[in-house]
Amino acid sequence: MPGPRSFTGEDVVELHIHAGARNVQQVVDALLACGATAAGPGEFSRRAFELGRLDLEQAEGIAALVAAQTDAALAQARRLVAGELGRRVDAVREQVAGLRGEIEANLDFPEDVTAADTTRWSEELEGLRGTVAGWLRRFEAGRRAREVARIALAGPPNAGKSSLFNALVQRERAIVSPQPGTTRDYVEAALELDPHGAVLIDTAGLRGVPGDELELEGIARTRDQLAGADIVLWIEAADEQPVERGVDEGVNAHVVLVESKRDLGCARPDWLGVSTRTGAGLDRLRATLRRWFVDGDASADDSPWIGLARHRERASEALASIEACATRLGEDAPLELVAFELGAAERRLAEITGRHALGAIGEDVLRRIFSRFCIGK
Ligand SMILES: Nc1nc2c(ncn2[C@@H]2O[C@H](COP(=O)(O)OP(=O)(O)OP(=O)(O)O)[C@@H](O)[C@H]2O)c(=O)[nH]1
Ligand SMILES: [Mg+2]
């Protein structure tokens, strides 16, 4: 494939060979003997970046694509690879550059700057601040949407936790029995909540006076699982008295109150009712779980995804500079200082795509980014 329209931008030769490991190894050895060098992690993406075929955030999108564990994560990564974030960031960067240019044009004759100019600049800064702050607000939402959530089932013994676990993962994974204290070790299984992903965890029932040592150990493990969960489904059965102490105070997770065995009655009308006997409420429970992933993400589709920590850091530095700039302008500070802050914001934004600021980004940042790739990507 002749450059420059190949993936890396270079001339590329691709060999199609039979996939047996030994066969491949001998071909590779022969090529190395001829003077070829083996690719390092992320080397193809790095070359593509250096020859201008990819922006930095697109290259990072490829790493995210490879690492994606859920359809939601994959969808976000594709948006990065498509260059959507880069285009939005560039548009704002150009706006910042334009404003800086306008302010710098007044450096020699600051006395010509009218109150109307200052007001207009302030308004423009306020618009820029709002845009960048909006990206940052969506960072958490984006992170959550692509997360593989840990969802723990907890509650008193015999509440029907293992039955609900099996019903949700759609196989008889955990032991169910009428005997309280059946589950001891916690049990995990993957739960698909299309397009999101979760790990569902069944735990030992919690009660004040355990039957034996084993159950006591099981309860200790339950508490560990609850401490690490994103969502806790707290389960009590419709035919049982309410538990006095519900979920522990130490639990940070989002708690969903579920009343099980609704086929036997209804004692907690405002809880989410389910019955594994009839299947009632299971779809509603799935929908409730799915909502957690998109919580706080009302405008999911029209804001760029600023999902990587590096992008967030650069964007929050840009935001700080824009805010500092607005403050200086309000204080009637010398225009040099105002323009200086804008220049800083511009550089931080440029570092997200790496297109205009390779020097400022520095070799070790690039190395760190590309070393996270697997070999051959
Ligand atoms: N009627 C009715 N019985 C249920 C339902 N779900 C579970 N059960 C019964 O309740 C009993 C306990 O169920 P499990 O799923 O083992 O309960 P658990 O909360 O995991 O119990 P431990 O592991 O002992 O804490 C079993 O006899 C189940 O058949 C339901 O929706 N309706
Ligand atoms: Mg159980």
What confidence score (pLDDT) does residue 90 get?
Answer: 92
Q: What pLDDT shows up at residue 340?
A: 94
Are 106 and 112 contacting, i.e. CB atoms less than 8 angstroms apart? yes
Which tokens belong to 345?
């914001």
Ligand 1 contact, 181 CB (< 6 A): yes
Q: Would you say the CB of residue 203 lies under 6 angstroms from ligand 1?
A: no
Q: What's the 160 CA to ligand 1 centre distance in angstroms?
A: 3
Q: What is the 3-state secondary structure (H, E, C) of 46-101?
A: HHHHHCCCCCHHHHHHHHHHHHCCCHHHHHHHHHHHCCHHHHHHHHHHHHHHHHHH
Is the CB of residue 119 below 6 angstroms from any atom belonging to ligand 1?
no
Q: Chain centroid to CA 275: how far? A: 33
150-293 to CATH, choices 3.40.630.30, 3.40.50.300, 3.40.640.10, 1.10.1060.10: 3.40.50.300
- Residue 177 Cβ < 6 Å to ligand 1: yes
- Please report where in the chains the tokens 């910042």 appear, as a residue: 96
Which residue type, as a one-letter code, is found at position 5? R
Q: Which residues pair with 260 in a beta bridge?
A: 237
Give the pLDDT confidence score for residue 302 in this predicted structure. 58
Q: Which pLDDT does position 121 carry in this prediction?
A: 95
Task: Concatenate the DSSP letters of all residues of 204-236 into one string.
Answer: PPP-SS-SSHHHHHHHHHHHHHHHH-SEEEEEE
User: Whose C-alpha lies nearest to ligand 1, atom 9?
Assistant: 160
Residue 124 CB burial class (10 angstroms; 0-12, 13-18, ≥19) = middle
What angle (nearest 5°) sits at the alpha carbon of residue 339, between those of residues 334 and 344? 130
Which stretches does DSSP call E strand in the chain?
A: 148-154, 187-193, 196-202, 231-237, 254-260, 272-273
DSSP state of 375: B
| pLDDT averages per 10-residue partition of the chain, 377 residues | 91 92 94 92 88 88 89 88 89 94 88 88 95 85 86 96 97 94 93 94 87 85 91 96 76 93 97 98 96 69 68 93 95 92 93 69 72 72
Is-same-fold flag (65-145+309-371; 150-293)? Answer: no
Q: What is the pLDDT of residues 301-348, one digit of tens each?
A: 555 566 788 889 999 999 999 999 999 999 988 999 999 999 999 999
Place of tokens 């059965």: 237
Q: How far is the CA of 161 from the centre of ligand 1 (A)?
A: 7
**Structural domain boundaries in the chain:** 1-38, 65-145+309-371, 150-293
> CA–CA distance from 39 to each of 43, 353, 363 (Å)?
6, 24, 18
User: Phi, psi (5° rounding) for residue 199?
Assistant: -110, 125
CA 237 – ligand 1 centroid, Å: 9
Give the separation between CA 223 and CA 209, rounded to whole angstroms: 15
User: In terms of CATH architecture, what is 65-145+309-371?
Assistant: Up-down Bundle (1.20)
The bridge status of strand 231-237 relative to strand 148-154 is parallel
Phi, psi (rounded to 5 degrees) for 39: -70, 140
Give the whole-angstrom CA distance, residue 43 versus residue 60. Answer: 12
What's residue 296's pLDDT? 59
- Give pLDDT, residue 163: 98
| Residues in the chain, total | 377
Contact, 230 vs 149, CB < 8 A?
Answer: yes
CA separation (Å) from 319 to 27, 42, 108, 151, 344? 52, 30, 27, 35, 10
Would you say the pTM of this structure is higher than 0.95? no
Q: pLDDT at position 297, please?
A: 55
Mutate to test the pocket of ligand 1, among 163, 200, 219 (most ligand atoms within 8 A of CB): 163
> Number of C-alpha atoms within 13 angstroms, CB side, residue 84?
17
Rounded-to-integer distance, Cα 341 and Cα 104, Å: 12
Q: Is the CB of 182 under 6 A from ligand 1?
A: yes
Q: Is the CB of 261 under 6 A from ligand 1?
A: yes
For residue 277, the model assigns a pLDDT of 97
